[in-house]
Structure 1
Amino acid sequence: MIYEIIIAILIGLDQLSKYFALNYLKDMGSIPIIQSIFHLTYVENRGAAFGMFQNNQIIFIIVASIASIFGLYYLHKKNMHIVGKVGILLIISGAIGNLIDRVRLGFVVDYFDFIIIWEYVFNVADVFVVVGTVLLCIYILFFEDKEMVK
């Protein structure tokens, strides 16, 4: 039950940030936070990461649903190190956060725009998925084998 509460809180943070982007940032377009480095830029992303595979919402909905169900199953069935659990929690939260947008709006609301680094605009859910994936990789590389030996 605790996992579901954490996931709900993280999804809530994501959806709250997207609410503000939709209701305040959409009409402004882009707000420079640090000129030519970091802006808040409203984008309607109908694709996957980096805008790939535009307008394939049904595929993204299916993949996010399956990943979330598998992740929840894995959290409850396997005793694992906290690094792995946090990684899975973040991935599920991000996947569901973006899934809500796809089902409700037909696109994902993105707004973090690090102009100096790349031309990819992203959101809180995307951060959850990336950080969660890194943590899950760390878990697999450094902790999983040790747990299997026990």
Structure 2
Amino acid sequence: MLPIWTALLVLAADQATKAWVLARIAPWGTVPVLPGVVQWTYVQNRGAAFGLLQNQTLFFIVVAVVVIAAILYWLPRLPGRAGSARLALGLQLGGAVGNLIDRLRWGYVVDFVDLEFWPLHRWPVFNVADAAIVTGTALLVLWLLADRDAAPDPVQGPGGGGN
């Protein structure tokens, strides 16, 4: 249940913050939060990070549906010791659903977290869903690396077999 609760928490936080941004920030465009560090900047993201693949809404909808289906397929197949992988997939699932809702509703994703400090001054504006997806991906990579190191080598067997 950890991944589902995580996904629901991410989805709720994502949609609540986007609703707040639409009501409070969108009319002004940008509102300083901590000058020189972070500001809220309302952005209609019609592509991917760094302005890639602009106006490819259908492509992003299809990718999101495939990713969501893959996560839902793999979740019940994870080994019992895979708590961090379950958390990672929950973060990714909640983020993917949050951004999918935006694309289906408006045709774009609402982004608003704008980091101003160096070296991230040119970092793309993002949202809670994006942060959850990136964090989940990092956790999943760490889990895969740690699990690979702990697992026996399928060629060498459990004892290794070094020179």
Please confirm whether the aligned pair reaches a TM-score higher than 0.5, indicating the same fold.
Answer: yes
Tell me how large the CA RMSD over aligned residues is.
1.8
Tell me the residue number matched to 1:84. Answer: 85
- Which of structure 1's runs of 4+ aligned residues deviate more than 6 A? none
Structure showing greater radius of gyration is 2
CA separation of 1:85 and 1:148: change in aligned 2, threshold 3 A? farther
CA separation of 1:147 and 1:94: change in aligned 2, threshold 3 A? farther
TM-score (ref. length: structure 1): 0.91
Partner of 1:103, secondary structure, is helix
- Letter of the 2:134 partner, please give it: V
Superposition deviation, residue 10 in structure 1: 1.6
Aligned residues: 150
What do residues 64-120 of structure 1 show as CA deviations (whole Å, max 9, x unaligned)? 111111111111122152111111111111111101000001100000000221331
Q: Which stretches in structure 2 are left out of the alignment for 5+ residues?
A: 159-163
Tell me the residue number matched to 1:107. Answer: 108
Tell me the residue number matched to 2:28. Answer: 28
Confirm or deny: 8 A CA contact 1:81 1:143 kept in the other structure: no
Q: Provide the identity percentage.
A: 36
- Letter of the 2:4 partner, please give it: E
Tell me the residue number matched to 2:12. Answer: 12
Which one has the bigger helix percentage? Answer: 1
Tell me the residue number matched to 2:140. Answer: 136
Q: Which stretches in structure 1 are left out of the alignment for 5+ residues?
A: none
CA distance, structure 2, for counterparts of residue 55 and residue 136 of structure 1: 29
TM-score (ref. length: structure 2): 0.84
